[in-house]
Chains A and B, each alone.
Chain A
Amino acid sequence: MAEKGVKVFGMWASPMAIRVEWALRLKGVDYEYIDEDLANKSDALLRYNPVTKKVPVLVHDGKPIAESTVIVEYVDEAWKDGYPIMPADPYERAQARFWARFAEDKCNAALYPVFTTTGDTQSEVVREAQRCLKTLETALEGKKFFGGDAVGYLDLVVGWYAHWLPVVEEASGATVVTDEELPLLKAWFDRFLAIDVVRATLPDRDRLLALNKARREQLLAA
């Protein structure tokens, strides 16, 4: 008998996995969530994603898809009559994909060193991260969300910043997203966190903080 239904292989603290959940919930799609221990990956995960062996993986009626941004576009197309995630206009879609790539390739790379450094080095990398986020922020100008009046693809891709960055800041003893430096982004954080599907899925802040503090200690001690 063919496998039916939707499964998400994720990890409770993974920003990539949560995107998939947000997309499915916006579409009103029921799914089974499988929380992976990344140090001890399940046979199922390895079977569904032998190529990269990473979370998230979406399995729809037995067919697996990996790579979170690919999954989000798939969810939009597979449940095309539901909530519109991608912009309708091809040019706007290209813009959304451009900024998503920018955030993933440049902003994430600029943010990571904030977490792994201290002192003057950290101050410098904070400034670099702010420069990167300021560029991203231009995509928000004049809008409530990156998607316009309602959340869309780009909001789902960068939305994790709203919950994770304050935690990373606290764990690292740094401030990156401030009202002075990134007013639009900060305001968008609040609006994004108020969205129902977001509130329903966010990982526990204390647990996330404890995890990040421990990781930072490990990295600094190495």
Chain B
Amino acid sequence: MMAGGDELKLLGMWASDFALRAKLALSLKGLSYDYIEEGLSNKSELLLSSNPVHKKVPVLIHNGKPVCESMIIVQYIDEVFTGTGPPLLPADPYERAIARFWAAFVDDKLLASWVQASWAKTEEEKAEGQKQMLAAVETLEGAFIECSKEKPFFGGDSAGYVDVALGSLLKSARAAEKRRGFRLFDASKTPLLATWAERFGELEAVKAVMPDVDRMVEYAKMGLAKAAAAASAN
């Protein structure tokens, strides 16, 4: 249920982790919006004028005003649409700080090392990235205990800020598992996160926006083919 006169547009790209976070937040809150799919190489005028600094998705445009950066969008949605759907951040200032800390950790440690593991130039650097990635996941197992307090999600009874930050990675995690059997949330190493991932993925609000795993696998193959072609052209 949106307040009369609220216009929401989301500029995204179907394979983007960051755009997925915005979609997850909107979906969890039950908000309706116009979705505009941006091409990577052919960015729209609207994207370029809404995010002139980075020229990247996602951009949320609320009544004509753009908000950029995935977790900033998530917070904005939570702050503006307080009466709609569950809160994404807790009410208590300390718990909010903990949630913000862990969301930042997902980006700074987990995502950064995953990028290194996938795209670094040397096998050594890739292996180091892989090691750091797995260490980050183990740390997040502890974060889950801290945040969930024995409830189903980082956000407690319902999915929240950290669930969105980490949950967006399920898109690529599932593709990686299908393609090469790599499990980001391995039940033998991080049992709580493994069950959390299943649970999060089963939410109707998540299923509604999570890209199809086979499509992700094809996309990943294309990306690697392109990277290999570019590398060999040098």
A residues apposed to B, CB below 8 Å: 51-52, 60, 63, 65-67, 70-71, 73-74, 77-78, 90-91, 93-94, 97-98, 101-102, 135
Cβ–Cβ contact B67 & A74, under 8 A: no
B79 to chain A, nearest CB (A): 4
> In the complex, which of the residues A65, A91, A135 contacts B65, with contact meaning CB atoms closer than 8 Å?
A91
B67 contact from A67, A94, A135, Cβ within 8 A: A94
A58 CB, min distance to chain B CBs, angstroms: 9
Contact A91-B76, Cβ < 8 Å, known A51-B105, A65-B101, A70-B101: yes
Give the nearest-CB partner of A66 in chain B.
Answer: B101
Q: Majority SS of interface residues in chain A?
A: helix
B165 at the interface (CB under 8 A from A): no
Pick from B53, B62, B69, B100: contact of A67, CB below 8 A. B100
Partner of B97 from the list A65, A90, A93, A135 (CB cut-off 8 Å) is: A65
> Which chain A residues lie closer than 8 Å to B101 at the CB level?
65-67, 70
* Chain B positions within 8 Å of A66 at CB level: 101
> In the bound complex, do residue A73 and residue B79 qualify as a contact, i.e. CB atoms below 8 Å apart?
no
Residue-by-residue, is B102-133 near A (CB-CB < 8 Å gives 1, otherwise 0)? 00110000000000000000000000000000
B72 interface residue (CB < 8 Å to A): yes
* Neighbour of A97 across the interface among B62, B65, B75, CB < 8 A: B75
The answer, yes or no, to whether B68 is at the interface (CB within 8 Å) is yes
Asked if A71 and B68 make an inter-chain contact with CB atoms under 8 angstroms apart, the answer reads: no
Q: How far is the CA of A35 from the CA of B7 in the complex (A)?
A: 49
Interface size in chain B (residues, C-beta < 8 A): 22
- Give complex CA distance A90, B104 in Å: 20
- Decide yes or no whether B40 CB sits under 8 A from chain A: no
Most buried by A among B72, B94, B101: B101
Q: Check if B76 sits within 8 Å of A102, measured CB to CB.
A: no
In chain B, what residue has the closest Cβ to A71? B97
> Are the CB atoms of B75 and A102 closer together than 8 Å?
no
Known: A94-B67, A102-B53. A70 touches B72 (CB 8 A): no
**3 closest cross-chain pairs (CB), A and B:** A77-B93, A74-B97, A90-B79
- Interchain CB contact (< 8 A) of B98 among A52, A65, A78, A101: A65
Q: Is the CB of B75 within 8 A of A94?
A: yes
Question: Which residues of B lie under 8 Å from residue A70 when comparing CB positions?
Answer: 97, 100-101, 104
Which of chain B's residues have a CB closer than 8 A to the CB of A52? 105
Q: Which residues of A contact B67 (CB under 8 A)?
A: 91, 94, 98
Judged by a CB distance under 8 angstroms, whether B96 is at the interface is: yes
Q: In the complex, what residues of B have CB within 8 A of residue A73's CB?
A: 96-97, 100
Give 8 pairs: A residue, B residue, CB < 8 Å, sorted on A.
Answer: A51-B105, A67-B104, A77-B97, A90-B76, A94-B72, A98-B69, A101-B72, A102-B53
Most chain B C-beta atoms within 10 Å of own C-beta, residue among A63, A90, A102: A90
**B93:A97 contact, CB within 8 angstroms:** no
Q: Does B80 contact A (CB under 8 A)?
A: yes
What CA separation (Å) do A77 and B79 show in the bound complex? 14
Question: What is the CB-to-nearest-CB distance from B95 to chain A, in angstroms, rounded to a whole number?
Answer: 10
B139 near A: Cβ within 8 Å?
yes
Report the separation of the CA atoms of residues A167 and B80 in the bound assembly, to the nearest whole angstrom.
41
Considering only residues 47-79 of chain B, those with a C-beta below 8 Å from chain A are: 53, 62, 65, 67-69, 72-73, 75-76, 79
Point out the residues of chain A lying under 8 angstroms from B76, CB to CB.
90-91, 93-94
List A contacts of B97 (CB < 8 A): 65, 70-71, 73-74, 77
B79 surroundings in chain A (CB, below 8 A): 90, 93
B96 and A74 contact, CB distance less than 8 A: yes
**CB-based nearest B residue for A77:** B93
- Select from chain B the residue with minimum beta-carbon distance to A100: B72
A67 to B71, CA, bound (A): 16
Chain A hits for B65, CB < 8 A: 91
Return A100 CB to nearest CB of chain B, in Å: 9
Complex alpha-carbon distance, A102 and B62, angstroms = 21
